[in-house]
Chain A
Amino acid sequence: MQQIINFLIRNKHSLLFLLLLFISLVFTIQSHSYHRSKFVSSTNFISGGVYGWQHSISDYFKLKNENTRLLEENERLYNQLSAFGVDSVSKKHIDTLRYTVPYTFTKARVIKNDYSKIDNYILINKGEKDSIKPDMGVITDKGIIGIIENTSKHYSRVISILNSNSRINAGLKKSNQYGSLVWNGEDPNIVQLETIPRQAILKEGDTIITHGRSTIFPRGIGIGTILNYKLNQNKNYYLIDVKLFNDMTNIGFVYTIKNNNAEEIKSLEKSEYE
């Protein structure tokens, strides 16, 4: 016993070192696996507060740019409305509770955006208080950004499409073939679309959209255009480089998407497996 205690005292620095290293490695491995409850996250009060404060300063310098983007988006939406023959006043529903829309959009601001690492995360300034929950989709006016992964009271963390853990269903606009969207860690404005079957007819410049095959994104949200494509080694699938519509290095405001039918769909899927 005495010897054990002596050993512990003699090597206390090495043991402390090993303990700390072990803790940090556990955090590291946790961060590399998708959907674990994550302790190390910038959604906490202090880092969220610091980023929010920093953002409130830098916000001013982007106002002009963001105003232009909002106007462009409004213009596009008005044009769509008029194409459907709807004027902007006639369809106002006062009783919003009874009116069942499939998706609810909530605006949020990006207060921290990474794009230079392999696993990038985005921090937005809406959290549980604004009924943001994990597994909601995040988009901008141009296209998709990522999926909410972790929420706190006032902030949520978005797993960006520029993250090696992110896999999002996406496909071609002109046909129904779909694959999964991943990122190889190189260019922040180019992502890869995998497992599009060989039978698909592709052309450079074709549009890639979400296909609504999960409860996260509705169908038809833009992602990007085909930059180039090639068949994989055993010539079954295409590997496609997709140039994103969004400039991932410059994101100001985003919308989160809540699928109001998600629970119904999930319970149906669950009952199928049982």
Chain B
Amino acid sequence: MNRETALQIGRFMILVLVQVMVLNHINFLGYLNPYIYIIFILLAPININKSLFLVSSFILGLIMDFFGDSGGVHAAACTIIAFFRPVALRSVFGLSYEFQTLKLSNLRFGEKFIYVILMVLTHHIVLFSLEIFNFSHILLIAKKTLFSSLLTIIVTMLVLVLFRRNDS
């Protein structure tokens, strides 16, 4: 097991613990929680084995469901953003992704921001549509998606900036 794998596994566990024990209890303004555990999916290496990536994202989501008693909503949302991550990467970073020269740890702020927005919005739309699962509540879905996404994006960007790895 090399250093990169250990880093991913460590990140996975820390994110799960932080999410479950701290962030799920924030309930900002009564109902808003930032879901930053998807940082694992955002920062997974570009050249990771696709099947492994899908399965590990699914398991990450499922663990969230086990802790949150939410059925399979996190698992579904995580699987979907893991599957569509290449699309998001290609549309945001273009050529540097195609030629595999991209490094997620040293990106310009603007590009990283757009990438995070895309992924978080997709995740939250799926998450809240499945969680509420009722089209008569479509306004509620929109409201929750919008405000939760805002919170998640802010917290995620803070985490990404504060815990940046200095590649030597």
**A residues with CB within 8 A of B:** 12-14, 16-17, 20-21, 23-32, 40-42, 44, 46-47, 50-51, 54, 114-119, 121, 123, 157, 164, 185, 188, 249
Which residues of A lie under 8 Å from residue B80 when comparing CB positions?
A: 21
Q: Is the CB of B51 within 8 A of A12?
A: yes
Q: Is the CB of B68 within 8 A of A27?
A: no
Q: Give the distance in Å from the alpha carbon of A28 to the alpha carbon of B133 in the complex.
A: 9
Q: Is the CB of B72 within 8 A of A25?
A: yes
Q: Is the CB of A23 within 8 A of B132?
A: no
Q: Is the CB of B71 within 8 A of A185?
A: no
B98 on the A face (CB < 8 A): no
- Of B21, B30, B73, the most chain A CB neighbours within 10 A belong to B73
Which residues of B lie under 8 Å from residue A32 when comparing CB positions?
A: 71, 133
Which residues of B lie under 8 Å from residue A157 when comparing CB positions?
A: 69
Chain B interface mostly: helix
Which residues of B lie under 8 Å from residue A27 when comparing CB positions?
A: 65, 71-72, 75
B61 on the A face (CB < 8 A): yes
Which residues of A lie under 8 Å from residue B65 when comparing CB positions?
A: 27, 40
B111 on the A face (CB < 8 A): no
Among A51, A118, A121, which residue has its beta carbon within 8 angstroms of that of B132?
A: A118
Known contacts A30-B71, A40-B72; A13 and B54 CB within 8 A of each other: yes
Q: Is the CB of A41 within 8 A of B66?
A: yes
Q: Give the distance in Å from the alpha carbon of A228 to the alpha carbon of B49 in the complex.
A: 58
B76 on the A face (CB < 8 A): yes
Q: Is the CB of A21 within 8 A of B79?
A: yes
A30 — nearest CB in chain B belongs to which residue? B71
Which residues of A lie under 8 Å from residue B70 when comparing CB positions?
A: 31, 40, 117, 119
Which residues of A lie under 8 Å from residue B68 when comparing CB positions?
A: 42, 114, 117
Told that A20-B75, A27-B72, A50-B20 touch, could you supply 9 new A-B pairs with CB distance under 8 A?
A20-B58, A24-B79, A28-B130, A40-B71, A51-B67, A116-B33, A117-B68, A118-B132, A121-B69
B53 — nearest CB in chain A belongs to which residue? A13
Least CB distance, A223 to chain B, in whole angstroms: 21
Least CB distance, B85 to chain A, in whole angstroms: 11
B67 — nearest CB in chain A belongs to which residue? A47
Which residues of B lie under 8 Å from residue A41 when comparing CB positions?
A: 66, 69
Q: Give the distance in Å from the alpha carbon of A185 to the alpha carbon of B30 in the complex.
A: 12
> Per-position contact with A for B119-162: 1 when CB-CB < 8 Å, else 0?
00000000000111110010010000000000000000000000
Which residues of A lie under 8 Å from residue B61 when comparing CB positions?
A: 24
Least CB distance, A259 to chain B, in whole angstroms: 25
Q: Is the CB of B55 within 8 A of A20?
A: yes
Least CB distance, B70 to chain A, in whole angstroms: 7
Q: Is the CB of A21 within 8 A of B76?
A: yes
The 6 closest A-B CB pairs, nearest first, are A31-B71, A27-B72, A24-B72, A24-B75, A24-B76, A116-B31
Among A29, A114, A164, which residue has its beta carbon within 8 angstroms of that of B69?
A: A114
B50 on the A face (CB < 8 A): yes
Q: Give the distance in Å from the alpha carbon of A118 to the alpha carbon of B137 in the complex.
A: 10
Complex A-B: 6 CB contacts under 8 Å: A20-B75, A31-B69, A40-B66, A42-B67, A118-B131, A164-B134
B62 on the A face (CB < 8 A): yes
Least CB distance, A117 to chain B, in whole angstroms: 6
Q: Which residues 67-109 of B have a CB within 8 angstroms of A? A: 67-73, 75-76, 79-80, 83
Q: Give the distance in Å from the alpha carbon of A26 to the alpha carbon of B62 in the complex.
A: 12
Q: Is the CB of A50 within 8 A of B30?
A: no
B168 on the A face (CB < 8 A): no
Which residues of B lie under 8 Å from residue A51 when comparing CB positions?
A: 67
B166 on the A face (CB < 8 A): no
Which residues of A lie under 8 Å from residue B72 when comparing CB positions?
A: 23-28, 30-31, 40
Q: Is the CB of A16 within 8 A of B55?
A: yes
Q: Give the distance in Å from the alpha carbon of A214 to the alpha carbon of B67 in the complex.
A: 31
Least CB distance, B144 to chain A, in whole angstroms: 9
Q: Give the distance in Å from the alpha carbon of A54 to the alpha carbon of B51 in the complex.
A: 34
Which residues of A lie under 8 Å from residue B83 when comparing CB positions?
A: 13-14, 17
Q: Is the CB of A16 within 8 A of B71?
A: no
Least CB distance, A23 to chain B, in whole angstroms: 7
